[in-house]
């Protein structure tokens, strides 16, 4: 394992961590969005997770002492982020995926939140979901139009979104919540925010400062073999025996998990993945027992999978037709807002 562009040993205001795996097409966009920040006191740590393309060389081509490139064998996105956490010199760590970008005021808004809510453990801004292939986008942000701080699970119900490209975490938080779980293909970020939310407050701004590109398909997360049990289920099980968690937070976390698991189970059935849906339904019963949502999902599971696939195909056709008609009637091929 080697490092490049070590730069100054002085503690920066914020450490920015970008996990990198074969993002030659997009990494310049991410790096330049960091270098364009109006807040200048940062270090940029790019963890090259065994890339086989030219993306690490593209990062090294920037002549900026604030940039460090850390090389490691391919271990997956969680291991790359964890390496970045270990290497970070700042007390605040901001995360950005290599195919996403920040608007120029992202770090300034984060610093504003830190000063306003010094007791929070994590900070998030509003985020824009971009689907370039369809030319559409959608803005997600906490409702109320003002800065807010409180329980993670309460803020989620108000519309806050915590994403691997719009969140900043205090370095000290990882000592209690732990770092990203290795070995998962997806869900490792939601699991991380869940664990932080059990112990720390979140602060958020409604201002859109990050762009998340939904239709990117190649990346570090696709190099890890998926594990059967989602990481959130593991953390939820561990929560039950942790006496340090406040009772009200534990209750809200249980409600959040029940709702999320219910939606996940239903999505498997509605997309025709009935075997996986039945497995998740059994896990739901293990955690939450037989209740109204369980009975609803159990009835759903009795419908033949072929029927689900037919209904899903019809819905996809209708949505595609609706999109085509809308574009034709508007006569405007430029980006629209959902």
DSSP string spanning 95-152?
A: E--TT-EE-TTHHHHHHHHHHH-TT-SEEEEEEEEEETTTTEEEEE--TTSS-EEE-H
Question: How does pLDDT run across 118-160, given as a tens digit for each residue?
Answer: 999 999 999 999 987 777 889 999 998 889 999 999 999 999 9
- Tell me, yes or no, whether 174 lies in a domain: yes
Of 223, 247, 272, the last residue of a domain is 223
Question: How does pLDDT run across 94-128, given as a tens digit for each residue?
Answer: 999 999 999 999 999 999 999 999 999 999 999 99
Q: Is the pLDDT of residue 8 over 60?
A: no
Distance CA 268, CA 273 (A): 5
Q: Is the pLDDT of residue 333 over 70?
A: no
**Tokens at 136, concatenated:** 């559409």
26 and 89 part of one domain: yes
Least confidently predicted of 28-37, 182-191, 319-328: 319-328
Q: What three-state secondary structure class fits 301?
A: helix
268 and 219 part of one domain: no
Give the angle 233-239-244 at the CA atoms, nearest 5°. 165
29 and 93 part of one domain: yes
Q: What is the mean pLDDT of residues 24-46?
A: 97
pLDDT of residue 5: 43
Give the chain's radius of gyration (CA, Å): 21
Q: What is the mean pLDDT of residues 161-170?
A: 97
93 and 212 part of one domain: yes
- Residue pair 261/280 in contact (Cβ under 8 Å)? The answer is yes
| CATH code assigned at 47 | 3.90.550.10
189 and 281 part of one domain: no
Burial class (CB in 10 A: 0-12, 13-18, 19+), 316: exposed
How many residues are recorded in the chain? 338
Greatest Cα pair distance, the chain, in angstroms, is: 62
- Tell me, yes or no, whether 240 lies in a domain: no
- Tell me, yes or no, whether 233 lies in a domain: no
- Tell me, yes or no, whether 336 lies in a domain: no
202 and 315 part of one domain: no
Q: What percent of the chain lies above the pLDDT cut of 90?
A: 62
Strand segments, DSSP code E, in the chain are 3-4, 14-20, 42-49, 67-72, 92-95, 101-102, 122-131, 136-140, 148-150, 167-170, 202-213, 336-337
184 and 285 part of one domain: no
- Tell me, yes or no, whether 286 lies in a domain: yes
Distance CA 333, CA 136 (A): 10
Tally of domains in the chain: 2
280 and 214 part of one domain: no
Candidates 142, 32, 39; CA nearest to 96 is 32
154 and 295 part of one domain: no
192 and 319 part of one domain: no
Distance of CA 273 to the CA centre of its chain: 24
120 and 183 part of one domain: yes
Distance CA 14, CA 17 (A): 10
Which of 226 and 178 is assigned the larger pLDDT? 178
Domain that holds residue 145: 3-223
- Tell me, yes or no, whether 132 lies in a domain: yes
pLDDT of residue 283: 85
199 and 148 part of one domain: yes
Of 203, 223, 243, the last residue of a domain is 223
- Those residues with Cβ within 8 angstroms of residue 74's Cβ, 6 or more apart along the chain or in another chain: 21, 49, 50, 220, 223
- Tell me, yes or no, whether 247 lies in a domain: no
- Tell me, yes or no, whether 230 lies in a domain: no
Distance CA 160, CA 143 (A): 8
pTM for this predicted structure: 0.83
């Amino acid at each position: 394992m080697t490092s490049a562009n070590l730069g100054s040993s002085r503690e920066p205001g914020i450490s920015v961590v970008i996990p990198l795996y074969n993002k030659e097409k997009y990494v310049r966009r991410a790096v330049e969005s960091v270098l364009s920040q109006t807040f200048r006191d940062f270090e940029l740590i790019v963890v090259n997770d065994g890339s086989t393309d030219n993306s690490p060389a593209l990062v090294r081509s920037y002549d900026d002492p604030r940039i460090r490139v850390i090389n490691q064998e391919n271990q997956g996105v969680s291991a790359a982020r964890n390496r970045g956490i270990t290497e970070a010199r700042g007390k605040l760590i901001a995360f950005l995926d290599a195919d996403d970008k920040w608007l120029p005021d992202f770090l300034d808004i984060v610093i504003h939140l830190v000063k306003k809510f010094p007791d929070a453990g994590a900070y998030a801004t509003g985020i824009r979901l971009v689907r370039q292939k369809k030319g559409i986008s959608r803005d997600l942000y906490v409702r109320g139009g003002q800065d807010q701080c409180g329980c993670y699970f309460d803020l989620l119900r108000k519309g806050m979104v915590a994403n691997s490209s719009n969140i900043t975490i205090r370095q000290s938080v990882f000592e209690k919540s732990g770092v990203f779980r290795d070995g998962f293909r997806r869900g490792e970020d939601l699991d991380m925010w869940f664990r932080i939310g059990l112990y720390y407050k979140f602060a958020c701004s409604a201002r859109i400062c990050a762009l998340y590109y939904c239709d990117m398909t190649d990346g570090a997360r696709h190099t890890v073999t998926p594990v059967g049990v989602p990481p959130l289920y593991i953390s939820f099980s561990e929560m039950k025996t942790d006496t340090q968690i406040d009772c009200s937070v534990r209750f809200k976390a249980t409600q959040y998990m029940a709702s999320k698991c219910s939606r996940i189970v239903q999505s498997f059935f509605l997309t025709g993945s009935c075997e996986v849906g039945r497995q998740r339904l059994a896990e739901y019963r293990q955690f939450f027992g037989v209740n109204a949502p369980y009975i609803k999902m159990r009835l759903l599971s009795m419908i033949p999978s072929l029927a689900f696939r037919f209904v899903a195909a019809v819905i996809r056709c209708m949505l595609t037709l609706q999109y085509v008609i809308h574009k034709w009637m508007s006569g405007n091929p430029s980006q629209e807002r959902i």
